[in-house]
Amino acid sequence: MVAILGAMRVQTSSDWAAHASAVLRGAGHQKGAARDELIKLLARQDCALTALEIEDVLRRGERGGRPVGRASVYRVLELLQEHGLVNRLDLGDGIARYEIVDPTGDHHHHLLCDECGQLVPFHDRDLERSIERLSRRLGFRTDGHEVVLRGSCSRCH
């Protein structure tokens, strides 16, 4: 069964935000306003955002937060990636996207419209089982995977 994700999240956004803050604090990083704003923004997302999309939202200071500049966005994304808190997605279109890494290992895959660029997250338990069976059959320990299905969304075809 394939489930297209909407507002569904296995854990709450505040859980991931608290986890991310605790990991960074445990690694000796000082708390910072830009980092906190970026963590809160990522925690509210159901799917990946580009650095420019993140910058745009944070620059406007939505939800009462302080505006955040481009250099801070890239610096914080790099820090989060170094600590395994976000995953950088390269979908072959030259644009890096970032999404949170659920510490439970739960993850989703993506449908990418080649026409308009719409990115749609989905879960598929049968696909996960197939990947596990394939790995076992080939004697390969799979530590992670990304599945991106490319084509045209319903608006574009």
**34: nearest Cα among 60, 64, 62, 73:** 73
Residue 42 per-residue DSSP state: H
Which structure tokens are listed for 12? 């709450």
Amino acid making up residue 145: H
The predicted pLDDT at position 1 comes to 43
d(CA 98, CA 45): 10
| 26: exposed, middle or buried (Cβ count in 10 Å: 0-12, 13-18, 19+) | exposed
47 contacts 25 by C-beta, under 8 angstroms: no
Query: What is the percentage of the chain residues whose pLDDT exceeds 90?
Result: 59
Domains and CATH numbers, the chain: 10-102 (1.10.10.10), 108-157 (3.30.1490.190)
The predicted pLDDT at position 140 comes to 95
The predicted pLDDT at position 60 comes to 79
The predicted pLDDT at position 63 comes to 56
Q: What is the pLDDT of residues 109-119, one digit of tens each?
A: 999 999 998 88
**150: nearest Cα among 106, 117, 105, 108:** 117
Q: What is the pLDDT of residues 3-49, one digit of tens each?
A: 444 433 445 567 899 999 999 999 999 888 889 999 999 999 988 99
The predicted pLDDT at position 117 comes to 86
Amino acid making up residue 108: H
pLDDT band for position 64 (50/70/90)? Answer: low
For residue 93, pLDDT beyond 80? no
The predicted pLDDT at position 12 comes to 58
